[in-house]
Amino acid sequence: MKLFDVYPLFDVEPVKALGAKLWDKNGLEYLDLYGGHAVISIGHGHPKYIERITEQAHQIGFYSNAVINPLQQAYADQLAQSSGLTDFALFLCSTGAEAIENAIKVASFDTGRKKIIAMEKAFHGRTSGAVAATDNAKIVAPYNTGHAVEFIPLNDQKALADNMSDEVAAVIIEGCQGVAGIFEPAEGFLEKARALCDEYGAKLILDEVQSGVGRTGAFFAFQHTSVKPDIITMAKGMGNGFPIAGVLIQESIQPWHGMLGTTFGGNHLACVAGLAVLEVIEEENLIENAADLGKWLKSELQRMAGIDSVRGKGLMLGLDLGQPVKTLRSNLLTKHQIFTGSAADPNTLRLLPPLNIQKAELKIFLEALKKELE
Ligand code: PLP
């Protein structure tokens, strides 16, 4: 059987990884400034992560959401402590799109409405509701077009106000737009969205699938502001590669049996992977590391010739080169063995390294980038 060919591939076959390094099948070493698309949070092959998953696999790896699994509550308790969010309930699932789909569903159930306001350039995933709220016509199939979604420009307070009504179930905003090319909500925009949602009885959904779990130097990117969403989605960095995602739902929103469900979500292995990530983040101060190294890296990049601007916070940065980055990205990989990310914006190079990357490793990247830009 052939694989359904939907991914353009780099000609690299990694077989081993540790920290921020990877090795291919020929033993060639690579530096990871892409984190497998913002997924690797505590670094590849972290010993605590391996130990917890191995230990759990020897006990029980999976049963079903029809029985008691105390690891789910343990995860929720640790998440409340790590994020500082104590008045939310947690629904566990497996992917970012699944989290988005359920977040929109909860908002729709709770308000009895079906209209969503999303941001231009947003990416929320590829399932039906998630892709309908994604601003990329190319990946929206005719079947996905039946949803009531209105797009407004990110940070346009007037457009948001003009489109709000008592038909709106939710406003959905990425904590920091990732796939688009690292565009943050401007000062005051989330506050305005919060106020408008309160005025019209709509839910404010923060999509932290890419920007969450410490990546921007706060547990969630929206925590750089004082705004509190009604619903938060998380995924990527949550499991350091193990598929686990979550929807945090304000306690005032009432669940009922059968409202949401999933076969794999919150299974034993996923929960211990998630717990190991949260514990390592705390023990190794990785959120502080992301904030500090991000600040340093951003200032180094801002001083480098050939870079128009640097966007983002922590270890979620976008470099705008004022010209397409395709060749640069390819040269970084083939000539310097450094993985970086692209974005929908062709001029943006996206950096999403593991949160425990070292300054010395970032210096190697800076040297290579400088050479290429010269
Ligand atoms: N939301 C955001 C902000 C994302 O960046 C992504 C994936 O890149 C998703 C949702 C979808 O996540 P997944 O690919 O796990 O379905």
d(CA 350, CA 179): 9
Q: Do β-strands 29-32 and 338-339 pair in parallel, antiparallel, or remain unpaired?
A: parallel
Q: What is the pLDDT of residue 92?
A: 98
Q: What is the pLDDT of residue 141?
A: 96
Residue 164: phi, psi to the nearest 5?
A: -75, 145
For residue 109, being part of any structural domain is answered with: yes
Q: Check which CATH number belongs to the domain holding 110 and give it.
A: 3.40.640.10
Evaluate: CB of 123 within 6 angstroms of ligand 1. Answer: yes
Q: What is the pLDDT of residue 47?
A: 98
- Quote the number of domains for the chain: 1
Cα-based distances in Å from 44 to 48, 184, 290: 11, 27, 16
For residue 13, being part of any structural domain is answered with: no
Q: What is the length of the chain?
A: 374
Give, for all 374 residues of the chain, the pLDDT tens digit: 999 999 999 999 999 999 999 999 999 999 999 999 999 999 999 999 999 999 999 999 999 999 999 999 999 999 999 999 999 999 999 999 999 999 999 999 999 999 999 999 999 999 999 999 999 999 999 999 999 999 999 999 999 999 999 999 999 999 999 999 999 999 999 999 999 999 999 999 999 999 999 999 999 999 999 999 999 999 999 999 999 999 999 999 999 999 999 999 999 999 999 999 999 999 999 999 999 999 999 999 999 999 999 999 999 999 999 999 999 999 999 999 999 999 999 999 999 999 999 999 999 999 999 999 99
Residue 344: phi, psi to the nearest 5?
A: -60, -35
For residue 299, being part of any structural domain is answered with: no
Evaluate: CB of 100 within 6 angstroms of ligand 1. Answer: yes
Q: What is the pLDDT of residue 104?
A: 98
Torsion 341-178-156-319 (CA) sign: negative
CA angle (247, 278, 353) in 5-degree steps: 90
Evaluate: CB of 102 within 6 angstroms of ligand 1. Answer: no
Q: What is the 3-state secondary structure of 282-319?
A: HHCCHHHHHHHHHHHHHHHHHCCCCCCEEEEECCEEEE
User: What's the pTM?
Assistant: 0.98
Q: What is the pLDDT of residue 368?
A: 98
For residue 372, being part of any structural domain is answered with: no
Tokens 């340093």, located at residue: 296
For residue 219, being part of any structural domain is answered with: yes
Q: What is the pLDDT of residue 30?
A: 98
Q: Do β-strands 203-207 and 168-174 pair in parallel, antiparallel, or remain unpaired?
A: parallel
Q: Where in the sequence is the domain holding 128, given as residue range(s)?
A: 47-283
3-state helix, strand, coil in the chain (%, to 5): 40, 20, 40
For residue 203, being part of any structural domain is answered with: yes
Radius of gyration of the chain (CA): 20
For residue 66, being part of any structural domain is answered with: yes
Residue 124: phi, psi to the nearest 5?
A: -125, 5
Nearest to 231 by CA among 132, 56, 88, 129: 88
Residue whose CA lies nearest to ligand 1 atom number 5: 210
Q: What is the pLDDT of residue 117?
A: 98
Residue 297 CA to ligand 1 center (angstroms) comes to: 25
Residue 207, classed as helix, strand or coil, is strand
- Cβ atoms of 178 and 38 closer than 8 Å: yes
Q: In what order do the strands lie in the sheet with 21-24?
A: 14-18, 21-24, 29-32, 338-339
Neighbours of 24 (CB within 10 A): 15
Residue 21: phi, psi to the nearest 5?
A: -120, 150
Residue 17 CA to ligand 1 center (angstroms) comes to: 23
Q: In what order do the strands lie in the sheet with 203-207?
A: 88-93, 245-250, 231-234, 203-207, 168-174, 115-119, 149-152
For residue 14, being part of any structural domain is answered with: no
What type of residue sits at position 326?
Answer: K
Q: What is the pLDDT of residue 103?
A: 98
Q: What is the pLDDT of residue 129?
A: 97
Nearest to 296 by CA among 315, 279, 311: 315
Q: What is the pLDDT of residue 190?
A: 98
Report the DSSP beta bridge partners of residue 89.
249
Neighbours of 42 (CB within 10 A): 26
Where helices occur in the chain by DSSP H, the ranges are 35-38, 47-59, 70-83, 96-111, 128-132, 157-163, 189-200, 268-283, 286-302, 326-336, 359-373
Residue 169 CA to ligand 1 center (angstroms) comes to: 21
Distance of CA 45 to the CA centre of its chain: 20
Neighbours of 90 (CB within 10 A): 19
Evaluate: CB of 178 within 6 angstroms of ligand 1. Answer: yes
Evaluate: CB of 179 within 6 angstroms of ligand 1. Answer: yes
